[in-house]
Amino acid sequence: MENNYYVYQYNRQDGTPYYIGKGKGKRAWFKHRRVKPPTDPSKIIIVSKDCTEQEAYQIEEYLIAYYGRIDKGTGILRNMTDGGDAPPSWKGKKRGPWSEEHRRKNSEAKKGKKHTEERIAKKLKPVLQYTLEGIFVKEYPSVKEAKRQADGSPGITECLRGRNKKAGGYLWKYKN
């Protein structure tokens, strides 16, 4: 077994811990999920080092139970779990494709959901077409419609993003 895991805690300015975690490498010094490490590196404390992964989980669980969690009303930590529940290290392990059951559930959840006209309209950005002299030519309800009516000019999107100045012999802008 590898003994390269450690347990760390993030301390507040007053010295009380606000997060307990298990890690290896530089995990304690980088943001993960919703908890940011302290800006003052001296507030990152390695509580136990040279642990196996299992030992680190046990120490993490003990410390979280000892200090308690804010969300449960039992203490001062921001941890969202009681510790010891993260999956074992994925290093060297393949994650398989979605199971048939997962695919079926995902499919069932999406069936029958249609985009309403109102929702579609909110997503569409009107596009304005101008001559190279800056004279207004036409307004289109969307980029897709502008491309369709302007003989599929592929540069319209690039023009709207500011990468090209013109497309199909015209200037293109989003309506504000």
Q: Convert the pLDDT of each residue in 16-37 to its tens digit.
A: 999 999 999 999 998 877 788 9
Query: What domains can you pick out in the chain, each with its CATH number?
Result: 5-67 (no CATH), 122-174 (1.10.10.10)
| Structure tokens, 107 | 């499919």
User: What is residue 78's three-state secondary structure?
Assistant: coil
Are residues 121 and 133 in contact, defined by beta-carbon separation less than 8 angstroms?
no
User: What local confidence, expressed as pLDDT, does residue 100 receive?
Assistant: 85
Q: Convert the pLDDT of each residue in 74-89 to its tens digit.
A: 999 999 888 887 554 5
- Region 95-101 average pLDDT: 73
Q: Convert the pLDDT of each residue in 103-159 to its tens digit.
A: 888 888 878 777 777 767 777 889 999 999 999 999 998 888 888 887 767 789 888
pTM of the predicted structure, to 2 decimals: 0.50
Q: Is the pLDDT of residue 68 over 70?
A: yes
How far apart are alpha carbons 46 and 22 in whole angstroms?
Answer: 10
User: What local confidence, expressed as pLDDT, does residue 90 receive?
Assistant: 47
Q: Is the pLDDT of residue 93 over 60?
A: no
